[in-house]
Amino acid sequence: MEDNKKATISAFIVCFNEEDAIERCLESVKWCDEIIVVDSFSTDKTLEICKKYTDKIFQRTWPGFKLQKQFGLDHCTSKWVLNLDADEAVSDELRDEILEKINDPKTDSKNINGFELLRVVNYMNKWWRKGGWYPEYRLRLVKREETVWGGDEPHEHAIIKSGKIEKLTKELKHYTYGDITHHIQTLNKFSNISAEVLKKKGKRVKFYNIIFNPIFRFIKFYILKKGFLEGFSGFVVAVIESYYVFLKYIKLWEKDGYSFKRDNDNKKTISN
């Protein structure tokens, strides 16, 4: 017969040079039974800050998001695992909802092995509940023994091996970009990774990818997700997001030798 012991929960964070954000993240999970930090040899004060919250700190050369997060997951010991990025923080309301759910007998009886968290972005001095980033659910609360890390870089994610996944209603705070320069720099880096992944998967860039995919991204953020209701800021974000898609495909085009290719291998090459 199952006892009534409180369910345990581990939080794990992977990081590198996050001295400006990591304390807010760690402070928001200090209620967890254990905190695991996987650091990629930070050169700033990140480790000094982390040591105030946990002694379970592992330093490891960066192998990519997926492998680093799998390493973090493997070193958790609790029944439940909460994964956060260094620029995220658990709200008090979300903390209470998490504790309620993992200790509810119905969670086990219904074979629920994961919960998607509702993430809200803080950017340009506002919380974005319109404009493409909301609602955005991420599978971040999982049963350790039922989970592996998968997906493609840089958009890795947890994968539940069996059972059900439900959504929580309270918000995970995401302090995503410090300013517009940081936003563009981050998307430029991610577009490099995405283009490389597409290349490895055999994706062949078409002319319409470069022209129309960025347009569709703009329409999604500005019109379908009602970014226009955020004023000029909504327009700026929609443009930058479409620029990211443009970068991803022209970098794939570059990796393809500056040529457009048809799936039937009849190449139509356009010189740079």
| Number of Cα atoms under 13 Å in the Cβ half of residue 9 | 21
Return the pLDDT at 118: 97
Rounded to an integer, the average pLDDT of 14-35 is 97
In this structure, the answer to whether residues 139 and 214 fall within a common structural domain is no
Give the integer Cα–Cα distance in Å for 120 and 162. Answer: 28
Per the CB < 8 A criterion, the answer to whether 77 and 97 are in contact is no
Per the CB < 8 A criterion, the answer to whether 121 and 176 are in contact is yes
In this structure, the answer to whether residues 220 and 137 fall within a common structural domain is no
In this structure, the answer to whether residues 104 and 222 fall within a common structural domain is no
pLDDT tens digits, one per residue of 182-223 = 999 999 999 999 999 999 999 889 999 999 999 999 999 999
Give the closest residue to 220 by CA, choosing from 209, 208, 232, 212. 212
Rounded to an integer, the average pLDDT of 137-161 is 93
Give the closest residue to 85 by CA, choosing from 25, 17, 163. 25
Per the CB < 8 A criterion, the answer to whether 136 and 122 are in contact is no
Q: What's the predicted TM-score (pTM) here?
A: 0.85
Range of the structural domain that residue 160 is part of: 9-174
In this structure, the answer to whether residues 160 and 196 fall within a common structural domain is no
pLDDT tens digits, one per residue of 82-95 = 999 999 999 999 99
Q: What is the CATH number of the domain that holds 39?
A: 3.90.550.10
